[in-house]
Amino acid sequence: MFQDIGSLINEAKNVGLVSHDSGGANILNALVKEFGDINFKLLVKGPAESIFDGKNIKFYSDESAFFDEVDFVLFGTGSTSYEKKLLRYAKSKDIKTAAILDHFVNYKERFIDDSTISFPDYCFVCDEYSYQIAKKELDPYKNISVCKNYLVASYKHKLDACNSLKKNTILYVLENTNEHWDEKLLPWEVAFNNFYENFYKHSDFCTIIVRPHPKDDPKIYQSLKKYEEIIFDYSSSPLISLSKVSTVVGIESYLLYISHSCGMIVYTSLPDKIRPPNLPQHVYKRF
């Protein structure tokens, strides 16, 4: 089945967005700006609160008021119960629903809450690679379509207009994973050490911009402040940092996929002996 996300938005009288995690929020924020003639009603929490910055949005804090005023809701699909519970509530009120899946992992888990699975009326992914994963993981659910990656399109446009590319600066995308790779070190430390010792020290890069993952507590990365060559980027958008580099490194953040899609060189810092990153193989190189 194929469904056009633009048709769903344009056919609705009042469009709502529900979002929590940064991955989906960034895609939805880019979508909002693409549909500049539509006024979107927003119900957001968590990292998403600092991401939406369009002129055609109205924020809601009252869930009942929000759902009383919308007839179509587009959901992000984060790891918390926030979007899951509200999706279930929207379906109980017979409101048309759709969700956008970001990244490439845990698709089915994003719709399970309290051992109950609730699928939206329509589900969208942003590329063919994700579509094949979704078809397999969400089976027997079939209402899956591929939509434009509004975030990649937005970033490409903005980065193409930027002439401040600096070859001696590299962006490192920090993220911690809930895995056990070493007896003493956290996963992010294992990956960063791999990058620093096996790549950075042997390169011509002078400055490392490090960008903590929005879901992580920045305090866990405090040990990096001892490095004189490191600059932290805590901004809600990675665009400024991306405009300064041509090479991006990290474990398996979706930002690596976006960077590759924008023409940048991408490396995974995940050591070979651990496992492959959850990214399309053509996206990344190894040290």
Q: For every residue of 156-190, which 3-state class applies, written as one string?
A: HHHHHCCCCCCCCEEEEECCCCCCCCCCCCCHHHH
User: Which pLDDT band holds residue 163 (cuts at 50, 70, 90)?
Assistant: low
Q: pLDDT band for 89, please (50, 70, 90 cuts).
A: very high
Q: pLDDT-derived band of residue 167, with 50, 70 and 90 as boundaries?
A: confident
Query: Which distant-in-sequence residues (6+ apart) come within 8 Å of 182 by Cβ?
Result: 189, 190
What per-residue confidence (pLDDT) applies to 1?
54
pLDDT at residue 160, rounded to an integer: 82
Q: 269-278, long-range: CB within 8 Å, 24+ apart, which pairs? A: 269/172, 269/191, 269/192, 269/194, 269/195, 269/199, 270/191, 270/194, 271/181, 271/190, 271/191, 271/194, 274/181, 274/190, 277/251, 277/252, 278/103, 278/104, 278/105, 278/252
Kindly report the backbone phi and psi dihedral angles of residue 111, in degrees, each rounded to the nearest multiple of 5, phi listed first. -115, 10
Position 75 scores a pLDDT of 98
Residue with tokens 């379906």: 91
Distance (Å, whole) CA 118 – CA 255: 28
Rounded distance between C-alpha atoms, residue 19 and residue 27, angstroms: 10
Tokens of 88: 């279930």
List of residues 6+ apart from 157 with CB closer than 8 A: none
- Return contacts of 112-116, CB within 8 angstroms, 24+ apart: 112/84, 113/81, 113/84, 113/85, 113/88, 114/81, 116/88
Q: Is the pLDDT of residue 166 over 80?
A: no
- Distance (Å, whole) CA 120 – CA 247: 37
What is the average pLDDT across 180-208? Answer: 97
The mean per-residue pLDDT over the stretch 92-115 comes to: 96
Question: For 43-178, where are the alpha helices, taking DSSP H only?
Answer: 63-68, 82-92, 128-137, 150-160
Q: Which residues pair with 76 in a beta bridge?
A: none
The pLDDT score that the predictor gives to residue 38 is 97
pLDDT band at residue 161 under the 50/70/90 scheme: confident
Q: Which two tokens stand for residue 237?
A: 């958008």
110 CA to centre of own chain: 14
Split at pLDDT 50, 70, 90, the class of 60 is very high
| pLDDT over threshold 60, residue 165 | no
Going along the chain from its start, the domains and CATH numbers come out as 5-149 (3.40.50.2000), 162-283 (3.40.50)
129-140 confidence digits (pLDDT tens): 999 999 999 999
Averaged pLDDT for residues 86-106? 97
Cis peptide before 277 (omega within 30 of 0): no
